A and B are shown apart, each in its own frame.
Chain A
Amino acid sequence: MGNGTSIGRVRGLGSAKTGPHHWLLQRFTAIGNLLLVLWLIASLLLLPNFSYEAVREWLVRPVPATAMALLIVSTFWHARLGMQVMMEDYVHDHANKFACIAALNLIAFAGAGFGLFCVIRLALGGA
């Protein structure tokens, strides 16, 4: 960086122009999280108990299974956006920052994929 040309001076220093999209998605997923986690909390309070049978019987039904799948997508998306901001603030080295965000993307997709697989398998009666 910094060979004296214009591109050398601004590379890595200016706006990437993707900020507003990130900011808006953080809000959209926040609204989703608000509704879906409050649904989860209400559902947990209404469950007769937390036994294997009771939780399964509740979660395999269509509406709870759909809500749980949506909750997984919304929360993992929101968490991925939020942790990216944390990494951008605290990891100053460009290479380390890139590695952190790459790892974050992999873990967020893997976690959401595993969660969705569990819900689908439960709902479709495979387990």
Chain B
Amino acid sequence: MAQASTRNRPLSPHLQIWRWGPAMLVSILHRVSGNGLAVAGLGVLLWWLGALVSGPEAYATFAGHASAWYGRVVLIGISWAFFNHMASGLRHFVLDIGAGYELDRNALWSVITPIVGIVLTAAFWAALLLLR
């Protein structure tokens, strides 16, 4: 009975129905970057620490992969995921206190947030390469 009435309920429209807006994009990027960090970011962190404990040879293997082109792609991706997730996470803190829901202000910060993520990623890699 409960199941039959559940099946007859109207379905809410999904992604392809809505007109795209910046708030949707920043929400999706928050989820993608967060789950990417959880899998790839924490995975690489554990590999790095494990290699450090296992000794110089294991560490050299890790460093070899990390400095290869595909390793750089992964590391740049992880750093982007962190800075993007940090920027949209800080936006969530502002929304949590009940601020920033006016349509134009919400759209403005939804546009600024992913740009901040990209700028901080570029700044991080510039500092990393220039300081060495």
Binding site for B on A (CB under 8 A): 1-2, 4, 8-9, 13, 27, 30, 34, 37, 41, 44-45, 49-50, 52, 55-56, 59, 68, 72, 75-76, 79, 82-83, 86, 111, 114-115, 118-119, 121-122, 127
Report the minimum CB–CB distance from B127 to chain A (whole Å): 6
Report chain A residues within 8 Å CB of B127: 45
Cα distance A45–B34 when bound, in Å? 23
Provided the pairs A9-B1, A34-B86, A79-B37 are in contact, do residues A52 and B49 lie with their beta carbons within 8 angstroms? Answer: no
Taking the complex as formed, is B16 at the interface, i.e. its CB lies under 8 A from any CB of chain A?
A: no
B80 at the interface (CB under 8 A from A): no
Give the interface size class of chain B.
Answer: 35 or more
Residues of B near A37 (CB, < 8 A) are 82, 86
Cross-interface CB contact of A111 among B34, B42, B82, B92, cutoff 8 Å: B42
Distance in angstroms between the alpha carbons of A9 and B52 in the assembled complex: 54
Do B56 and A52 touch (CB < 8 A)? yes
Tell me if B's interface is mostly helix, strand, loop or mixed. Answer: helix
In the complex, what's the smallest C-beta–C-beta distance from B7 to chain A, in angstroms?
11
A9-B3 Cα distance, complex, nearest whole Å:
8
- Mind listing 8 A-B residue pairs with CB under 8 Å? A4-B1, A37-B86, A49-B132, A55-B59, A75-B42, A79-B42, A114-B50, A127-B54
Q: Is A2 touching B1 in the complex (CB atoms < 8 A)?
A: yes
